């Protein structure tokens, strides 16, 4: 048994093997194929593995400032904190 260098390689291999099993089971007569719940479970496993291999860590709106925190300069941060400090000590 050879070990894959990355988990993604192993997942891709498993996806390929499970797709082959599904294709083989679909070709069989219904009487001789695996129960439907088994095939459904295999399909769910394939979907889960595809989420792992197809994961993209890039945010959906990489340069969109409206969906995230607004840009605040350090001067603005210090001014706001100083004002808060002054108000707490009145």
24-34 pLDDT, tens digit each: 998 988 888 88
Give the closest residue to 54 by CA, choosing from 11, 6, 13, 21. Answer: 11
Rg, Å, the chain Cα set: 27
Is residue 2, in this structure, part of any structural domain at all? no
Any alpha helices (H) in the chain, and if so which ranges? 7-27, 36-53, 74-88
Sole residue written with tokens 């792992």 = 52
Q: How many domains does the chain have?
A: 1
Is residue 55, in this structure, part of any structural domain at all? yes
Question: Which residues span the domain enclosing 15?
Answer: 7-88
Is residue 27, in this structure, part of any structural domain at all? yes
Residue 51's pLDDT band, with cuts at 50, 70 and 90, is confident
pLDDT of residue 1: 46
Q: Is the pTM of this model over 0.85?
A: no
Burial of 57 (0-12, 13-18, 19+ CB in 10 A): exposed
pLDDT of residue 3: 56
- Give the end-to-end CA distance of the chain in Å, rounded to a whole number: 73
């Amino acid at each position: 048994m050879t070990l894959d260098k990355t988990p993604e390689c192993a997942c891709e291999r498993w996806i390929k093997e499970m797709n082959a099993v599904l294709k083989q089971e679909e070709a069989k007569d219904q009487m001789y194929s695996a129960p439907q719940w088994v095939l459904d479970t295999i399909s769910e496993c394939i979907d889960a593995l595809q989420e792992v291999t197809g994961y993209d860590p890039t945010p959906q709106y990489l340069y969109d400032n409206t969906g995230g925190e607004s840009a605040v300069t350090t001067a603005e941060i210090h001014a706001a904190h100083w004002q808060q400090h002054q108000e707490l000590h009145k």
